[in-house]
Structures are given as structure tokens and as C-alpha cells.
Chains A and B, each alone.
Chain A
Amino acid sequence: MAAIVSAGFSRFGKRKEGILDIAAESALPIVRKHRDSIDFVLVSNCYSGEFNSISGLNNLVTTYLSMDTVPSIRIDNTSGSGGAALFSAVSLVESGRAKAVLLTGVEKMSDRPTKEVTRVISSLLGEREKAAGPSLPSLAGLLTRLYMDEFGASRESIAQVAVKNHRNGALNPNAQIQKVLTLEQVLQSTVIMDPLRLFEISPISDGSTSLLVVPDDMAESYTDKPVYVKGIGMSADSSFLTDRKTFTDIPAVRRAGDIARKQSGIDRPDFAELHDMATVLEIVQSESLGFFPRGEGWKAVVDGVTEIGGELPINTSGGLNSKGHPIGASGVAQTAEVFLQLRNEAGQRQVKNPSNGMMMSMAGFGNSATVAVMGVEQ
């Protein structure tokens, strides 16, 4: 088993600094304390080539931190990069190939115009699908229509996810959007893909988050509050949406969740961080992960079940929706939120006495997914 023993953060948002300084901002608090122990570095990043004209980012990061001889790998799995990188970090320490992995997720996106960012992100689709001109949020817009039609969900229930996540984000000092929104403000914001509105879609973001991952039997030499990765699963599905049997379930999420739950022995987590690139996705993912019966996730939102004080809080960090979505950093940041919550270090957004938590990091529209269940006990 692997354990997470430290986390570092940068503020998410539109940052003037370059990608290396943003990466260093979250990595340095860990590196200052544990430089001599770190024997591998993973950099979760998706678009340094496209957005920053940089290749070999992993080696540039280690060199910038003057860890020139520490081996490193850059991991790109689109918006699921952070989950894939956590999976890799856990695998490295569990296999014995590394004893202390610095995992840094970083992205710098805001220098580019929105249309360019939209084109680059949608490049993960098939050639003919891309030729039609979809964006990832546009697919979420179509999913919103299908979900409402199939399950009778109200429009307000979908938008309520944004109200909840912005309320949570306002309690997170590292969140990009720190603004409480009313349901009316969400529903009256600019249409992006009808019926989805601006405040229901994650913003374009810069930012980084770092973690230190070590073998469980070494964890207590680093901290008296380690967080153990009790189960981690990864699954995939077709990159071609036109091959999918349904849009209102995400099989890769369901399968990855099944693996992580079985490994951990924890069927229902105390709280979860999900991939709410768009509001509707949080609801569909909560069903694919078995938190709620299919078609009933929207009712849980309306009933307050997923609020911080609810039975199963979701996206206490503000989620991608409010915290921001610097793509390569997101899965790492989701994991870091679970780390903070389990150590009772989440400040005003703290869940009451959690013993375990889950994060789900998703690539594309469910092209792949990583689910990790973490806990305070081995």
C-alpha cells in the first residue's frame, strides 16, 4: 500500500507566472523538507506543448527545482492526467522501484484565447467527430438534455450543483472563483451550450498541486497523519463517443470505482471529489459510482445530501466548477482535498470526522477514469 504524507498548493486562477514557477509554488514546500528522500518525480500535465511551447516539462521541472539527477516522467492522460499520475505514483512505490515520489500536477492555460483552448481540448475526439465542431462542454450540454429527458430531472437540480460547488469554493483559499452564487445567478449567466450556462462549466485555469507519495511502512517517518491509498482502480472506454451505448452512464467511472471499492473494502465513502467539468457530470458520476440509484443523483443534490453537512458531501473543494480546472493539476488537487479532509485540515469546509474519502479523475468524456479510496487507517 502507498501513503500520501504531504501536499503543496498553488492558488488556481489566471496567473501571470510561467508554468515552471507555478509548478515550483506547490512543489517547493515538499521539496524543502524532503529533497534528499525524493527519488522519483511525476509531472501530471496535458498541454505544455500546445499552450506553453514546452516539451520535456518533467525534466525542466526537476532542473528548476535543482533536482537535476532525479528521474522523472510527464504523464498526459488529458483531463484525467492527475488520476493516472496518482495511479503511477502508487505503482512505483508499491513495486519498490521508488521510495518517495513527488507528484506535481500543473497546467498554464490562460495565455491562450478561449477558442484556441476549446480547440485544443476537443482534440481528444475522433477525426470525424472533431470535424463537426464539438467542444467538451457542448457534449455536457447534450448530456444535460438527455439526462433531464430520461430521468425527469429539473433544470434547477442540475444548476444547484453549481450553487453548492461555488459555496464550497468560496471556503477554499486556493479556489479560482471565490463567489457564492444564487440559483438565479447561475441560471441567468451566459449560455455556453444550451441549456448549460457559464457558471455550470469549469473555467480556464492556471495552477499546480503537489503530493509526496511513499510506501505505507515508511509513512510515519514523514508525518504522524499519513493518508493511505487503500484502493485505486483505473478503467477506460472508447475515445469515440459515437461508439458509446449510452451517454447517461459512464462505464469507465463505474468500473474504476468497482476496483477501488473492492480493493479498499469501503463501499460508500464518507465524502468524494468528482470531475465536475460541467454540473451534470457530477450527478451522472455520482450514479456511476453507485452513490445513488441511476437517475436519482439529481434528487440527492436537491435534498442537500451532497452538501458539506450532508450524508455524502461531494466536491467540498469547490470542484473543478469553482476551484478551477488547470487540466493536468486537477486530479492531483482532487486527491489533495481528500488528504486535507482526512487530516481535518480543510478549514471552514471541513467534513465532520471523516475516516475515508474518494476521488475520481476522468479523461475526456469518460475515455478513462481513475478512482482512489483513501483512509486514515491502513
Chain B
Amino acid sequence: MNILKCDGCGHEMFERRAVCPECRGESFSESEAGEPQTIVSSLLTVTPEGFEDSYDLAVGKLGRTLAIYRKAVPK
């Protein structure tokens, strides 16, 4: 899973910004950060339009930031 890293101070982000919240830098590079380490997850059974009817939703550590992602539900 990719993260964005500020070219000025190295601050890592999951979501794109125009300006780094730490150093106000405006240049970022995208890099692969591996798989997130799940902090918490749970089964969602009322889902937004455009998504399947249930899935495990998770928040995990990704590099030095957080990620929100769907986990595969074991069959």
C-alpha cells in the first residue's frame, strides 16, 4: 500500500495534501510502504452505495501514518 512522503521533512501521509502540515513543504513523493499493521477492525453490515453488502473494515499502522482499508473476510 502506498503512502505520500514530504520531500522537505519526510512527514508521511495516507491522504494527499497540497501543503505539508509539519513543514509547509509543497513537494511529495509516493512510495510503497508494505502492508498495514491492523490496529482495529470490525465487520460492517450497512455499507455505502457502490460497495458490497458487508466487509471487514480496518484501521492500521502504515509506515508512520495510518490507513483505512477493507480486509478480506475469511470464507
Main DSSP-derived SS at the B contact region: strand
Verify if A128 is at the interface (C-beta below 8 Å from B).
yes
Inter-chain contact B16/A127, CB cutoff 8 Å: yes
Minimum CB distance partner of B16 in chain A: A127
Picked from A113, A126, A133, A149, the residue with its CB within 8 Å of the CB of B44 is A133
**Closest CB-CB distance, B43 to chain A, in whole Å?**
5
Q: Shortest Cβ distance from A138 into chain B, in angstroms?
A: 5
A193 and B49 in contact (CB under 8 A), knowing A128-B14, A132-B68?
Answer: no
Find out whether the CB atom of B65 lies under 8 angstroms from the CB atom of A242. yes
Given contacts A133-B57, A145-B42, contact A118 B48 (CB under 8 A): yes
- The answer to whether the Cβ of A241 comes within 8 Å of any Cβ in the partner chain is yes
Residues of A within 8 A of B43 (CB): 191, 193-194
Minimum CB distance partner of A116 in chain B: B49
- A134 pairs with B49, CB closer than 8 A: no
Q: What is the CA–CA distance of A190 and B43 in the complex, to the nearest angstrom? A: 13
Q: Is the CB of A242 within 8 A of B14?
A: yes
Q: Say how far B61's CB is from chain A's closest CB, in angstroms.
A: 10
**Is the Cβ of A134 less than 8 Å from the Cβ of B65?**
no
Q: With A141-B44, A142-B40, A241-B68 given, is the CB distance from A134 to B15 under 8 Å?
A: no
Within 26-75 of B, Cβ neighbours of A (below 8 Å) are at 39-51, 55, 57, 59, 65-70
Is A243 on the interface with B (CB-CB < 8 A)? yes
Instruction: Check A145–B40 contact: CB distance below 8 A.
Output: yes
Measured between alpha carbons, how far is A129 from B59 in the docked complex, in Å? 10
A243–B13 touching, CB < 8 Å:
yes
Give the docked Cα–Cα distance between A191 and B39 (Å). 21
In the complex the two chains form, is B44's CB within 8 Å of A242's CB? no
Q: Is B21's CB within 8 Å of the partner chain A?
A: yes
A122, A240, A244 — most chain B CB neighbours (10 Å): A240
A135:B47 contact, CB within 8 angstroms:
yes
Contacting residues of chain A (46-86) with chain B, CB-CB under 8 angstroms: none
Known: A116-B49, A118-B49, A127-B16. A138 touches B40 (CB 8 A): no
Contact of A193 with B44 in the complex, beta carbons under 8 Å: yes
Contacts of B39 in A (CB 8 A): 146
A97 within 8 A of B: no
Q: A203 an interface residue at 8 Å Cβ cutoff?
A: no
**B15 touching A128, Cβ below 8 Å:** yes
Q: Which of chain B's residues has its CB closest to A247's CB?
A: B59
Q: Which chain B residues lie closer than 8 Å to A113 at the CB level? A: 49
How many angstroms between the C-alpha atoms of A130 and B32 in the bound complex? 20
Query: What CA separation (Å) do A242 and B40 show in the bound complex?
Result: 13
Residues of A within 8 A of B (CB): 113-116, 118-119, 122, 126-129, 132-135, 137-138, 141-142, 145-146, 149, 190-195, 238, 240-244, 247
Given A242-B15, A242-B65, A243-B66, 14 more contacts at CB 8 Å?
A115-B49, A116-B49, A118-B46, A128-B16, A129-B68, A132-B68, A135-B44, A135-B46, A138-B44, A145-B42, A193-B57, A194-B43, A242-B66, A243-B65
A-B contact pairs, 18 of them (CB 8 A): A113-B49, A126-B14, A129-B14, A129-B68, A134-B48, A135-B46, A141-B44, A142-B40, A142-B57, A190-B45, A192-B45, A193-B45, A195-B42, A240-B13, A240-B15, A242-B59, A243-B66, A244-B66
